[in-house]
Chains A and B, each alone.
Chain A
Amino acid sequence: MIIKITDQPLNLQELIDDVATEANGGVVAFLGVVRRWNDGPDGQPREVHWLEYEAYKDAAEEVMRDIARQVEEKWGLTSLAMAHRVGHLEIGDPAVGVAVGAPHRGIAFEACEYAIDTLKATVPIWKKESWETGAEAGQSWVVNKESAQPE
């Protein structure tokens, strides 16, 4: 089971190969990629120059393994592989990859969506965005709207 935070370029095929077993008839893979446009706090789109990702590495990998355990508990016979990149990323660079293998495609789709949604809410990773509009430019930490909140 590949679960990793890495400063190396992501290879989605490596994750797919990791979950492709003789028992799995469906493999669903998701790749999250740095995009050119992202809405600022005022809801207006800003042009993105680059992202810098930072992780609490040991804890992030631990939470990612928790997600794999949750997927196993919810859907049973599944295989999950997940990798997130850290460091400086340019437009078009893959930032996160998830692959799920299951006996049938329905479970694989559901589990893959659950895994990426849960990662975005709970895995301790942060990103700083370098952005500009016509009038302004800056660097800001960008928070996921689905981020977990303190109890």
Chain B
Amino acid sequence: MDKVKVKLFAAFRETVGQGELDWPLGPAQTAGELLDSLVGEYPGLAGGAKSALVMVNRRYATRQTALQPGDEVAFLPPVGGG
């Protein structure tokens, strides 16, 4: 089974209980589909998922971005730096 590394931060990290997960990757799966599967496993993420920003390999991406095995996919709550 192909996998990606999922990174979670701030409220998302607290909801899931860890900041990094190995997650199975389906064929031709997009970042948005992966987020849906995460919400299915961790329903606590549902409230924040709509406003989540997406990064793939440490670059901003969109829910339509197609994922490759081994990608680092991050779901980010709205940011609060500064």
Contact = CB atoms under 8 A, between A and B. Distances in A.
Interface of A: 32, 53-56, 58-60, 62-63, 84, 95-96, 116, 119-128, 141-144, 147-151
Given A123-B81, A127-B81, A150-B51, A56 B76 contact: yes
A25 B58 CA distance: 35
A62 B59 contact: yes
Contacts, number: 91
Given A56-B9, A148-B53, A150-B51, A62 B81 contact: no
Interface residues on B, range: 20 to 34
B79 A141 contact: no
Contacts of B7: 56
Contact of A147 (B11, B55, B59, B78): B78
A116 B82 CA distance: 8
A125 B80 CA distance: 6
B81 A126 contact: yes
Contacts of A141: 10-11, 77, 80
Contacts of A151: 62-63
A94 B10 CA distance: 21
